[in-house]
Amino acid sequence: MTKAQIGVYGLGTMGSALALNMAEQGFEVAVTNRETAWIADFIREAGTLAGKLQGYETLEEFVAGLAAPRVILFMIPSGAPMDAMIEAVTPLLAAGDTIIDGGNADFHLTRRRAAALQAKDLHFVGMGVSGGEEGARHGPSMMVGGSGHSWAQLKPILRAIAAKFEGNPCVDLMGPDGAGHFVKTVHNGIEYADMQVIAEVYGLLRYGAAKAPREIGEMFADWDQGRLKSYLIEITGKVLHYDDPKTGHPVVDVITDAAGQKGTGRWTVVEAIKLGQSANLIEAAVGARGWSSEKDTRAEAEKILGGERGWFDPGEAPLKEAFLAARILGYAQGFRILAAASEEYEWDLDYARIAQVWRAGCIIRSALLDDISEAFAGDLPAGQLILAPGFAKMLSTSVPALRKVVAAAVTGGHAVPGLSAALAWYDSMRQGYGTANIIQAQRDFFGHHGFERLGEAGKHHGPWWD
């Protein structure tokens, strides 16, 4: 039997879909799974692709079935299971082999794992894969972090299976070790922000203007053209058209309003804070999911505090502009975190390329990413998208609508944590002289911490110490 070009360990939803995608692109793929009973079923169900799939029940046979230098993609939970598999597979590998973690992983773990394996002449790749099952099967967006050696091994396979934007594969080497997983984490942070803002827009129309879900769905379908065209707008438009077969009500009305989260949004926020940033729109989105899950408390609070929300019909055009502003600011915060991490970890991230890799296949794919990749192709200080002339212009025309929508929503008692966070960040950043002088004065007053004077370097103290 010809040796396989790649091995896929883990035949869950994502692993199976990626293995089939590779087989369809003509690669010989070795597959295995912890529950060995799944392997034969998977190959049987692969139909005409079965000839490209080689199933192995033991790790030894699976590794022996791979052409050297070997490439093994693990699609398993990234914590303890990944560590256990690294330990089990390492003795079977030889110098130059590459192990890939294709799950959503904390990039700190990826960095540690890469360093530990490097000491054994082995390569560890952290790869972010976006696009869900459908993407994995027919074209995901992939963010790779690892060595040049691993990238040379992986490139032909990943470029073949990736989503294509105008013929361009949506995959690239982002940088070494944890860079790929970090970029995927921030992708998810932006995903959280965009989802939250879409939910708030829905909420204003539904509970402020008393519009029916289907009507709001039609509006999103209209928005899914031109500048706001995006996967998340498209699917929101679609879900709002469905009725629940059991009750006949719009299906969104029978879904419990408590959002789940697996951690990547939270990681984005934590890392942003550690890097001295505050991605407050992403933070608001993560926080809002947390509040949403306090369902019992909210039910009680509605009785005690009152849940009234005032009538408010923002009108479609201002709402669309407000949404555009918030989306730009969400992306801008994401890229700012990438820039801060790139500097801290010396990754030399290519922001224009990241925007291109996100243009197809991934959850945050959107027309705006075209403009973003163009903006980053120019010289943009500190990854600040809001300073790009095209975006500064878009913001100057869309923020007034965001301001009006937030003001009216807040006055009417509508919760808009994402929209208002976006506006607060924008307003803070556009002040050349803000209010932190007061914080500095307070710090010096109570703690003798000192402050810098305008135009004078060095540490100074206030007259309160004289």
Among 33, 110, 130, 185, binds ligand 6PG (CB under 6 A): 130
| Closer to ligand 6PG by Cβ: residue 158 or 405 | 158
246 is catalytic: no
- The region of 40-48, 260-268, 336-344, 368-376 touching ligand 6PG under the rule CB under 6 A is 260-268
List binders of ligand 6PG among 406-435 (CB under 6 A): none
Query: Which residues lie across from 164 on neighbouring strands?
Result: 169
DSSP 230: B
Among 21, 264, 280, 420, binds ligand 6PG (CB under 6 A): 264
* Cβ atoms 268, 277 nearer than 8 A: no
How far apart CA 267 and CA 261 sit, in angstroms, is 11
Distance of CA 346 to the CA centre of its chain: 21
Total residues contacting ligand 6PG by CB under 6 A comes to 13
- Tell the smallest beta-carbon distance from residue 55 to ligand 6PG (Å): 26
The amino acid at residue 79 is: G
The amino acid at residue 196 is: Q
The binding track of 7-46 with respect to ligand 6PG, each residue x by CB under 6 A or -, is ----------------------------------------
Q: Catalytic pick from 28, 52, 191, 320? A: 191
List binders of ligand 6PG among 95-124 (CB under 6 A): 104
Degrees, nearest 5: CA angle 378-182-187: 70
DSSP secondary structure string, 264-311?
HHHHHHHHHHHTT---HHHHHHHHHHHHHT-HHHHHHHHHHH------
| Closer to ligand 6PG by Cβ: residue 157 or 363 | 363
Residue the block writes with tokens 């939250």: 196
| Closer to ligand 6PG by Cβ: residue 235 or 367 | 235
184 is catalytic: yes
Q: Where are the alpha helices (DSSP H) in 162-294?
A: 179-203, 213-223, 231-239, 264-274, 280-292
How far apart CA 190 and CA 185 sit, in angstroms, is 9
DSSP secondary structure string, 39-90?
HHHHHHHTGGGGGGEEE-SSHHHHHHTBPSSPEEEE-S-TTHHHHHHHHHHG
- The region of 32-40, 72-80, 83-91, 130-138 touching ligand 6PG under the rule CB under 6 A is 130-138
Residue 273, Cβ neighbours under 10 Å: how many? Answer: 13
Binding to ligand 6PG by residue 268, rule CB under 6 A? no
3-state secondary structure of 149: helix
Q: Catalytic pick from 52, 184, 211, 320? A: 184
- The region of 36-44, 256-264, 274-282, 310-318 touching ligand 6PG under the rule CB under 6 A is 256-264
| Closer to ligand 6PG by Cβ: residue 261 or 384 | 261
How far apart CA 4 and CA 54 sit, in angstroms, is 8
| Closer to ligand 6PG by Cβ: residue 188 or 356 | 188
- CA distances to 32, 168, 201, 206, 416 from 323, rounded to whole Å, are 45, 29, 8, 16, 12
Binding to ligand 6PG by residue 261, rule CB under 6 A? yes
List binders of ligand 6PG among 440-459 (CB under 6 A): none
By beta carbon distance, the residue nearest ligand 6PG is: 130
3-state secondary structure of 117: helix
- The region of 46-54, 55-63, 71-79, 125-133 touching ligand 6PG under the rule CB under 6 A is 125-133
- Tell the smallest beta-carbon distance from residue 264 to ligand 6PG (Å): 5
Structure tokens at 159: 């470029």
How far apart CA 352 and CA 347 sit, in angstroms, is 14
Among 96, 132, 400, 412, binds ligand 6PG (CB under 6 A): 132
Binding to ligand 6PG by residue 78, rule CB under 6 A? no
| Closer to ligand 6PG by Cβ: residue 134 or 313 | 134
List binders of ligand 6PG among 143-202 (CB under 6 A): 188, 191
- Tell the smallest beta-carbon distance from residue 13 to ligand 6PG (Å): 11
- Tell the smallest beta-carbon distance from residue 184 to ligand 6PG (Å): 7
Phi–psi pair at 412, nearest 5 degrees: -85, 0
Round to the nearest angstrom and report the end-to-end CA distance of the chain. Answer: 86
* Cβ atoms 180, 128 nearer than 8 A: yes
DSSP 3: P
- Tell the smallest beta-carbon distance from residue 262 to ligand 6PG (Å): 4
- The region of 128-136, 309-317, 318-326, 351-359 touching ligand 6PG under the rule CB under 6 A is 128-136
| Closer to ligand 6PG by Cβ: residue 188 or 280 | 188
List binders of ligand 6PG among 331-390 (CB under 6 A): 362-363
| Closer to ligand 6PG by Cβ: residue 33 or 264 | 264
Phi–psi pair at 384, nearest 5 degrees: -90, 95
Q: Which residues belong to the active site?
A: 184, 191
- Contacts with ligand 6PG by CB under 6 A lie at 104, 130-132, 188, 191, 260-262, 264-265, 362-363
